[in-house]
Amino acid sequence: MAIDFGSYISYLTANPVLAVTSILTLAVVMVNGWTDAPNAIATCVSTRSISPRLAVLMAAVFNFLGVFIMSLLNTKVGATIFNMIDFGDNSRIALIALCAGLAAIVIWSVAAWIFGIPTSESHALVAGIAGAGVAIKDSFTAINGSEIMKVVYGLIFSTVLGFVMGYVMVKLVEAICRKLNKRKTQGFFQAGQIGSAALMAFMHGAQDGQKFMGVYILGIYLAQGQTNNGGQALVFPMWLMILCSLVMGLGTSIGGYKIMKTVGMNMVTLEKYQGFSADLAAAGCLLFSSITGMPVSTTHTKTTAIMGVGAAKRIRNVNWGVVKDMVLTWVFTFPGCGIIGYLMAKLFLTVF
């Protein structure tokens, strides 16, 4: 079922809780813009292939294109998020719990951003909403096991394959270019890295844009008293694609540089051909995941691809202290954000 903008405004004015849900969803999208989207353009900025300002503009444009084009092809990733939690039959309570889960994601992600640690908004989204769902039923039966397992598989897939693909891709590039004059290849790799970063931004939109739009549509359904979509195919309206893309781009322009610095400079010092290899490897992983409907983390995929590229040269090239901080944040995201989502839901249900 498609939801036109006029109908959405009518729902919004008639239901204050939907207004709060919409604001919180957009807040999560903005947080994704400054903590997750910068991963897509971190390497091309760190190698000075493009200025940060132009990189942010490029990311905003290609994030939208990723959301738009992938939504025309399939909405499997968004559908996975939409169907992940059973909030029960009381749509009012479900909408309040959804608000609490979104608030938990903002709290967790902003805390990580303060320390300059890139978090996975995908897994914060899953954990926060799952915690809120459990709070409603006081049981883990609120969680749709088959849909959650897609996320777990995606976590493993994006981490392992990102590293392997990064390692293989840079070795392949080095083998192809080993007889070429390194100075003469710089221009090619600079242009190539801008193109591969644009591809990464496109795939970020294809993956993460669908996740947040899935939550947005879920909030609209709950506001109408519907706890499911009746088995209908999930349809993302154009106005929602534009809105989420603009807010995500705004987030990247506000706070993205801190994450770009951590991923593109602090973890591994990259040359242009290495940045090009990391972007191609990560984009390939994200493309496969989007086509198969597996929700994966852009952060995990891009950062592990960079680790693989760095390790291909020398294992010591990777700053494992920064890596350790990132991995610990990833590990604690599920229990940490889940607990915050649970507690926020209990609080919201008591207050409202």
Phi, psi torsion values for 199, nearest 5 degrees: -65, -40
- CB-CB contact of 287 with 276 (8 Å): no
What is the Cα–Cα distance from 78 to 67, expressed in whole angstroms? 11
Element (H, E) at 186: helix 182-204
Which token pair is 20? 């709060």
Q: How many CB atoms lie within 10 A of CB 48?
A: 11
The DSSP letter of residue 138 is T
Instruction: List per-residue pLDDT tens for the chain, 352 residues long.
Output: 567 888 888 888 888 878 888 898 898 888 777 766 666 777 787 778 888 778 878 887 888 888 788 777 766 666 666 677 777 778 888 888 888 888 888 888 778 777 766 667 777 888 888 898 888 888 888 787 777 777 777 777 778 888 899 999 999 998 988 888 777 788 888 888 889 888 888 888 877 777 788 888 888 888 877 766 555 667 788 888 888 888 887 777 776 666 665 555 555 677 888 888 988 998 888 888 877 777 777 777 888 888 888 888 777 767 777 677 777 777 788 888 899 999 999 998 888 7
Q: Look at residue 172 in the predicted model and tell me its pLDDT.
A: 93
Q: How many CB atoms lie within 10 A of CB 182?
A: 11
What is the Cα–Cα distance from 296 to 153, expressed in whole angstroms? 8
Q: Look at residue 266 in the predicted model and tell me its pLDDT.
A: 57
- CB-CB contact of 126 with 151 (8 Å): yes
What are the domain boundaries of the chain? 5-351
What one-letter code names the amino acid at 3? I
- CB-CB contact of 251 with 30 (8 Å): yes
Q: Look at residue 342 in the predicted model and tell me its pLDDT.
A: 93
Phi, psi torsion values for 236, nearest 5 degrees: -100, 120
- Single out the residue of 42, 21, 3 nearest to residue 322, CA to CA: 42
Q: Look at residue 118 in the predicted model and tell me its pLDDT.
A: 61
DSSP codes of every residue in 236-269: --HHHHHHHHHHHHHHHHHHHHHHHHIIIIIS--
Angle at 120 between CA 116 and CA 125, to 5 degrees: 125
What is the Cα–Cα distance from 22 to 28, expressed in whole angstroms? 10
- Single out the residue of 338, 317, 307, 336 nearest to residue 39, CA to CA: 307
- 């995606």: which residue's tokens? 154
Phi, psi torsion values for 143, nearest 5 degrees: -90, 130
Residue 143: strand, helix, or coil: strand
Q: Look at residue 233 in the predicted model and tell me its pLDDT.
A: 62
What one-letter code names the amino acid at 107? I
Cα torsion 296, 302, 305, 306 to 10°: value is -160
